[in-house]
Amino acid sequence: MLIKQEITKKIFNYLCIMIRFNEYIEINTEKRFGKPIIKGTRISVYDVLSWLSNGMTRKEIISDFPELTENQINACLAFAAKKEEGQIYA
């Protein structure tokens, strides 16, 4: 039962991030040539997606970049999903 609650909690958290990824992602022409970045950093959404696609886990990314949180990484995935749907033009 505990595992089911953990999974439900993770899904709920992911859905919340899907709705509010703009709390974590910004586009600022003064940073990284206007690419979408994680707020308060110079780490781009592309960077995070590249690390994930090359096999890094969220824990490994956070270990290498302790300023990042799991919610920020999830926000990058949510941003990419919305962009792929054509709901974001960045």
pLDDT digits (tens, 9 = 90+) for 68-89: 999 999 999 988 988 887 765 4
pTM, rounded to two decimals? 0.74
pLDDT given for residue 29 in this prediction = 87
pLDDT digits (tens, 9 = 90+) for 36-56: 999 999 999 999 999 999 999
Q: Give kind and range of the element (H or E) at residue 75.
A: helix 70-85
Of the CATH numbers 3.30.365.10, 1.10.10.10, 3.40.50.970, 3.30.420.10, which one belongs to the domain with range 2-85? 1.10.10.10
Instruction: Specify which residues 15 forms β-bridges with.
Output: none
Alpha-carbon distance of 15 to 32, in angstroms, equals 28
